[in-house]
Amino acid sequence: MKILVADDDAVSRHMMQRLLERSGYEVVTAQDGREAADWLAVEDGPRLALIDWMMPELDGPGVCRLVRSRHDRSYVYITLLTSKQSKEDIVTGLEAGADDYLTKPCNPDELKARLRTGMRILDLENKLIDAREEMRFKATHDALTSLWNRGAILADLERELCRARREQGSVSILICDLDHFKQVNDVYGHLVGDEVLQQVAHRLLDSVRPYDAVGRYGGEEFLILMSGCSAALALRRADEVRDAMARRPFATTCGPLSVTVSIGVLTSSDWEDHFTTNQLLNEADRALYRAKARGRNCVCATDPSA
């Protein structure tokens, strides 16, 4: 665990550094309050801090207030080191944002015990953050494929269309539907079908640019959003996606299975701004059904003139 020791007295700073390094901490030091605040603003900086109350540039409570004003950083557990012992001073330090205080000179065993308390609190915060991120992931991603789920990909489409209209750009919508996928489930079972869907998701992600969005639209349908593509480029990219599916069979527990995909393509710049998101999706869906009617394993674009 990385810890900051801020003290304008070089001897005290060095003694504290040696004590903490012997206890297994990675120690960084600061000789005034401004340097301490800068250390605590660094990405991946210390999350434990021992701050002396009286320092030049910025005192200990001032460092606490500055650190607590930054809401975009991980929590820092701050212990103030002070020779002040009045209740009023202690309250001042705690209200400035300190988590704990120690009276100088510090008892080494008490110091280490209090730091262990700080580490438990930081560990609890890490677990809460992990749990929050897991919940956020589950709320926005498909459980089987780990792609964006329907709600998330449609929300992203709405945002991209608004931005494209504002910046006079374009968004290409690719609706991809696996051909005869019901037969895979009927003949080989849904578990094998799930294996295919998971591998389809990987191939889709490998076939698009890192900043394109891929989501599971429903069942065996997938939605791909490509920003800044012309209609011609969107068609070429859609055919690359189609080829990625058809090029080689999918490996399953029942052996290799060949599965192809039909794709409907729409580029928003070809359509008037008054068309709603649902209307554009319906047009892309019509293009998909034309691809199905043409024999499947093919790509078909929308026709605004029709």
283 as an active site residue: the answer is no
Active-site choice (35, 160, 195, 220): 220
| Main-chain dihedrals φ then ψ at residue 92, nearest 5 degrees | -60, -45
State how far the alpha carbon of 110 is from the alpha carbons of 67, 102, 119, in Å. 25, 9, 14
Q: Please provide the DSSP assignment of 84-150 as one string.
A: ---HHHHHHHHHTT-SEEEESSPPHHHHHHHHHHHHHHHHHHHHHHHHHHHHHHHHHB-TTT-SB-H
Query: In whole angstroms, what is the distance from residue 280 CA to residue 168 CA?
Result: 17
Q: Which of 64, 92, 95 is nearest to 79 (CA)?
A: 64
Q: Which residues participate in catalysis according to the annotation? A: 220
